[in-house]
Amino acid sequence: MRILALDSSSPVASVAVVSFHDGAAKILFEENTPHARSDSSALFHALEAAVSACGKPDALCVGLGPGSYNGLRAGIAAARGFATALTLPLHAIPSPLALPGPDSGFWAVGDARGGHYWIARISKGHFLEEPRLLLPGDALAHASTQDIPILSAGPLGEFLNPVDSGLQASMEVTIATPGAHRLAILAEKKDPSYLVPLTPEPLYLKPPHITAPKEALIKSHEGR
């Protein structure tokens, strides 16, 4: 069985093809490419390369976030399009579960923008605490309650430069991004909750921030 997996929730677009035989996983293709929130072309180039190198997969898997609004929509649309066109099963899995943390457990954190961070606790590919939104100081304090590793899904900015520098001094934060091959391994376990018959919904923790067009802003001010 071969699974094509992709994740575009973080600043790195990850695409992988993993083969499974007698319980062993073998990575046939993997590409991790930096990409901007407003440009998902790296994801599509990697998908084209994966299919060219490995042929038609037996299943697809996509990361659900949380993360970049545009990146998630592009990744999910691509996965759903592939699955429909090739009549393949589609698995959808929260992206933090594909971070390279230890099985013993770790905190995952990410920039949710708008002055908030999301934080989750993970062990062996499962949530011990599901993602939730916190202010930077609260997220840092929460993550410091237990002596386990902290992995961030991309740059964190204020989280790494809190007012309470004494609290930060006792912590180490590892910058990491979800790996598509880990999504494939989770999908191969055939958890029925990950198999989606329709287009999956991204894991949004708050409504997306949408900038109003300049023309609309002008009309709004004129109407006052």
**pLDDT confidence tier of residue 221, bands split at 50, 70 and 90:** very low
Q: How many CB atoms lie within 10 A of CB 189?
A: 9
Block residue for tokens 């990146």:
71
Q: Tell me, what's the pLDDT at 207? A: 63
In order of their start, the domains of the chain are 2-96+178-194 (3.30.420.40), 100-176 (3.30.420)
Q: Which residue has the higher pLDDT, 224 or 154?
A: 154
- In three-state secondary structure terms, 111 is strand
What is the overall mean pLDDT for the chain? Answer: 86
- Which residues fall within 8 angstroms of residue 209, CB to CB, at 6 or more apart? 69, 113, 114
pLDDT in tens, 83-117: 999 999 999 999 999 999 999 999 999 988 888 88
**Is residue 216 scored above 60 in pLDDT?**
no
Q: Tell me, what's the pLDDT at 160? A: 58
For 6-35, give one letter per residue: b (16+ CB within 10 A) or e: bbbbbbbbbbbbbbbeeeeeeebbbbbeeb
Q: Tell me, what's the pLDDT at 40? A: 82
Please, are residues 190 and 116 in contact by the beta-carbon 8 Å criterion?
Answer: no
Of the listed ranges 1-5, 34-38, 106-110, the one predicted with least confidence: 34-38
**Is residue 78 scored above 80 in pLDDT?**
yes
Q: How many CB atoms lie within 10 A of CB 44?
A: 17
- DSSP string spanning 35-94? -BTTB-HHHHHHHHHHHHHH-S-SEEEEE--SS-HHHHHHHHHHHHHHHHHHT--EEEE-
Q: Tell me, what's the pLDDT at 191? A: 87
**pLDDT confidence tier of residue 208, bands split at 50, 70 and 90:** low
pLDDT in tens, 154-185: 777 666 555 544 444 456 788 899 999 999 99
Q: Tell me, what's the pLDDT at 218? A: 47
